[in-house]
Amino acid sequence: MRSVQDQLAAVLAAVGPVAPLDVVLSDASGCILAEDLVAPADVPSRPVAACDGYAVASGDLHGAGAPVLPVAHDVLAGDPAALRLAPGQAVRIASGGPVPAGADAVVAAEDTDRGAVRVALHRLPGPGANVRPVGADTVRGAVVLAAGTRLGARQLAVAAASGRGRLRVHPAPRVVLVSTGSELAEPGTPRRDGGVYEAAGHALEAAVRDTGATPVRVGVVTDDRAVLSEALEDQLVRADVVVTTGGLSESQHDTLADVLAPLGTVRFDQVAMAPGFRHGFGTVGGGAGAVPLFALPGHPVAAQVAFEVFVRPALRAMAGHTDLFRPSVAARADVGWESPAGVRQFVPAAVVGSPSEGYRVTPVGDPGVPSVTGLAHANALAVVGEQDTAVVAGQVVHCLVLEG
C-alpha cells in the first residue's frame, strides 16, 4: 500500500505548468499570466475630463464670486488635441475629452448653467478637480500585472486599456475523460439488465471545468482492448492530461495495464485511502508530448474523491497556480464514526459554523458506504488520518471545503 502523501508527491513531482501560449483576451480569462505586463504608454496619454463640464484655469477664478466665462469651443472624447485655453475663458468638454493646455480643472456641468456661449459657474474648482491626470490608469514602463497573476475581469481591463489584444498565459489544460466499463450506459439511453449509468465522467467533466481547465469527455468505452486502445490513442493528440475512470478491478486491471503499456509508463498502486484504493498514475504519449494519465476508480464517489485529492492539485499546478489546494477548516464532530485502520478516510460531510463561532461537522449518510446522493448534499470531505480507527463525537476533524 502506498500512502496518500506519497502518491500526491509523485503526482506533483511529475506535473508542471503547461507551456505558455499567446492567446486573445477572451481566452486568457481565468488563466495565469506568463509574462510581466509592462504598460507601453501612459493611459490617459494627456489630462482628460472625468465628467462632462467646462475646462477652466482654476487660478483665474480666485475671488471672482460666481464667475461667468465666455465658452471658447467644444472638446469631445477622442478629439486628437484641444486648443490652448485663453485666460479668462472656458472650454465645454465631454467626459474623456482632452483638457486644453492652460486649463487645470473641470467644473461639472451640474455645477453650471450649461451655457453654450457664456457659462455661469456655481462652484469654484480647486486645481485638478475632475481631471484625470496623465497615467491615472497606467503609467508607461510600469509592470501593471506581474507574471503569475490570475487574469480576471479587472486584470483583463488593464491589458485591454494598454492596447494588448493577446497575452502570454499558461493555457487551461485540456483534460480528456474516458469512462471504461462494459457495464456502463450513457444517461438518457436504455440500460440493459445489470447495466449501470455512467456518472463518474459526467461529474468529472463539471469538476474539471470548475477547476478552470477544459474537459473533453469521450464518454463510455467498453473494456475491449482494441476499442479502448484506439480511443486512448485518438485522444492523446488533444490532451494535456488524460483521466480514465473504472477498469481497475482485478478482473479488468490487466486490460487497462496492457492497453496503456505501449503508450507510456503508468504505475498501478493500492493507495491507503477510502473510498477507492486502486489508482494508476503515470505519463503516456512519449517524448516531448508525454502527458500525465490518471486511472481513477469507477465508482463516482471514489472517482470524485480521487479527483479532489490528486487530480485537482495537478491541474492547478499545470495551469500555473501556486495555490494548489482547497481551503480546509478544523471542525468538531457532532457524532462519531468508524474508520478503517491504516487508511486515510474521506467522508462526505456537512460543515456548518463560522470562523468566529467555530465549525461543526456531520457525515452525510453512512461513512462506510459513501453514496452519490450523500456527496451531492455534502459541502466538505472530512479527512480521518491513517492512525485513527474511529472519530469520537467532539473530536476535531480536518475538513476539505468543497464548492457550493
CB of 103 to a copy of itself, least distance (A): 17
For residue 352, the cross-strand partners are: 360
Q: Cell numbers of 365, please?
A: 449518510
DSSP 271: B
**Helix or strand holding residue 374 (H, E):** helix 372-377
In which element (H, E) is residue 252 found?
helix 250-260
Position of cell 465549525?
A: 359
Residues between 25 and 44 with contacts to a copy of itself, criterion CB under 8 A: 25-26, 29-30, 39, 43-44
Is residue 207 involved in binding a copy of itself (CB under 8 A)? Answer: yes
**CB neighbours of residue 8 within 10 Å:** 18
- Of residues 63, 65, 87, 188, which one binds a copy of itself by CB under 8 A? 188
Site for a copy of itself in 331-390 (CB under 8 A): 354-356, 366, 369, 371-373, 375-376, 378
Beta pairing partners, 397: 331
Residue 200 interacts with a copy of itself (CB under 8 A): yes or no? yes
- Least CB distance to a copy of itself at residue 147 (A): 14
193 contact partners, CB below 8 Å, separation of at least 6 = none
Query: Of 133, 327, 353, 394, which lies in the binding site for a copy of itself, with binding defined by CB under 8 A?
Result: 133
* Interaction between residue 323 and a copy of itself (CB under 8 A): no
Interface segment toward a copy of itself; rule CB under 8 A; list 12-20, 62-70, 161-169, 230-238: 161-169
Q: Please, which residue, 62 or 403, has the CB nearer to a copy of itself?
A: 403
Cα(368)–Cα(386) distance, integer angstroms = 15
CB closer to a copy of itself out of 55 and 263: 55
Q: Which is nearer to a copy of itself, 284 or 309 (CB)?
A: 309
d(CA 244, CA 213): 16
Q: Are 304 and 200 within 8 A, CB to CB?
A: yes
Enumerate residues 290-319 that contact a copy of itself by CB under 8 A: 298-301, 304
Indicate whether 122 belongs to the interface with a copy of itself (CB under 8 A). no
Of 102, 101, 282, 319, which is closest to residue 208 (Cα–Cα)?
Answer: 319
Q: Does 202 bind a copy of itself (CB under 8 A)?
A: yes
Q: What phi and psi values does residue 127 have, to the nearest 5 degrees? A: -60, 135
In the stretch 52-91, what mask flags binding to a copy of itself with x, by CB under 8 A?
x---------------------x-xxxxxx----------
Distance CA 166, CA 144 (A): 15
Is residue 126 involved in binding a copy of itself (CB under 8 A)? no
d(CA 51, CA 43): 17
Contact flag: residue 287 with a copy of itself (CB under 8 A): no
Question: Nearest distance from residue 90's CB to a copy of itself, in Å?
Answer: 15
